[in-house]
Amino acid sequence: MSKIRLPPYLGRTLLAIAVGVGIFRMGVYSARAGTAAIPQSTLSYAGVLLKNEQPLTGQQELLFAFKKGAQVICSSPRLEVTPDSVGRFQVLIPMSNCPGSLFDGTAVTVDIAVGADLAAADVAVTSVPYALHAEHLGSADCPTGYDRDPSASTVPNTIGCVRGEDHVVRVGTGASAFWIDRYEASIWSDSTPQGIQYGAGIGAYPSSFPVTAQTTLDKQLYALSKVGVVPSTPLSWFQASRACRASGKRLPSNEEWTEAATGTPRGTEEASACTDLQNPIHLTGQGSACVSVWGSEDMVGNVTELVAEWAFGVATQPHATLVTPWPSAFGGAMWNVTSTAYEGSVGPMSIQRGSGGGNQSDASVFAVGVTQTVAQPVMGFRCMIPR
């Protein structure tokens, strides 16, 4: 039997049925598969149909049954195909009958029936090599487990993603892109906001979640980017980092935070957009007055936000506040570095960004502060998901 060469990849392929060049026989039929593309809601299958070693032509009816182990998880509708003169065909398999968890990393095989006869059994459904990375990341727009968030489209060019009530936005394009919380984080007793919220006067953190965050896995608390809640404060760097990690995220780096804040109004120039002395800490998602070009909200004002890095410093006075303004080219009197620490203390100190608590003199995308790694009154955070 001559081999049929089919296009290896059509479009952007995430998964492909691949059986190599082997021939699978059952009864008098045989089928050989090539590889083809998979849109999000369909699976494309290309192959050759033979009967008694001769091409099977004319209209045929195919059925695909997807299995894990010996159990059939789902089946396609019956699909009509018309192979060409040498038996080649290609068909789009609707996946609407299959659960979203079908391709969760567990081995999947497929049985292919032609009419009432089984033509091929236990054909492996595997990842094409260059798509392995994409499988772990999800689509180019959203990370794994997240869907597009229509509510983010109010900000031009924003790509928002949502999983349950956890909202993120994409920052950047290409290989350097990442996803960051759309809203400042709140801490919950469950990975979905069905449990108890902690912080911001809502509920004291339990003793099983100390400032050191040295806790067991069954006592974790979870960070969520949820709309319409008060961001959780006060907390230490350790608690913020642990809550991000429990949710499959991490604290953003100083550079990542800066990029995510691009285009946010500067508090000293448009103070009313990002800071409010009468309402220093407000609910998340209260409008787009203080939003970056990527769609992340309240990165200036509201609560001060922790980033991943630590700094080292010495204070010369009790509760000293050391201020060095940025040059005038950076847009006003926003603070460059503030240091709040006990006299003579030496770091480590956590780096904080954005300024919060209604401060208008230092609020800015360029505001940088360092403080002891213990909980501070308006200290909050947000998480990010790396590519």
User: DSSP for 267-323?
Assistant: TTTSHHHH--SSSSS--S---SSSB-TTS-B-SSSSSEEEEEEEE--BBSSTTEE--
Distances in Å between the Cα of 180 and the Cα atoms of 237, 271, 375 are 18, 24, 23
CA atoms of 315 and 369, how far apart (whole Å): 13
Of residues 270 and 74, which shows the higher confidence score?
74
Of residues 316 and 283, which shows the higher confidence score?
283
310 token code pair: 């630590």
* Percent residues over pLDDT 90 in the chain: 27
Asked whether the predicted pLDDT for residue 109 surpasses 60, the reply is: yes
**CATH number, domain 16-131, options 1.20.120, 1.20.1050, 3.30.428, 2.60.40:** 2.60.40
For residue 49, what pLDDT is reported? 85
CA atoms of 51 and 120, how far apart (whole Å): 12
Q: What is the mean pLDDT of residues 344-363?
A: 69
**CATH number, domain 138-385, options 3.90.1580, 3.40.50, 3.30.1490, 1.25.10:** 3.90.1580
Question: Which amino acid, 308?
Answer: A
In the chain, ranges of CATH 2.60.40 domains = 16-131
Confidence band for 137, pLDDT divided at 50, 70 and 90: very low
Confidence band for 79, pLDDT divided at 50, 70 and 90: very high
Q: What is the mean pLDDT of residues 149-172?
A: 87
Half-sphere exposure of 99 (CA within 13 A, CB side): 8
Q: What is the mean pLDDT of residues 36-60?
A: 74
In the chain, ranges of CATH 3.90.1580 domains = 138-385
Confidence band for 343, pLDDT divided at 50, 70 and 90: very low
Of residues 326 and 256, which shows the higher confidence score?
256
For residue 44, what pLDDT is reported? 80
Mean of all residue pLDDT scores within the chain: 76
Asked whether the predicted pLDDT for residue 296 surpasses 90, the reply is: yes
Identify the H or E element spanning 341.
strand 335-341
Q: Which is nearest to 96 in space by CA: 42, 38, 147?
A: 42
Of residues 90 and 287, which shows the higher confidence score?
90
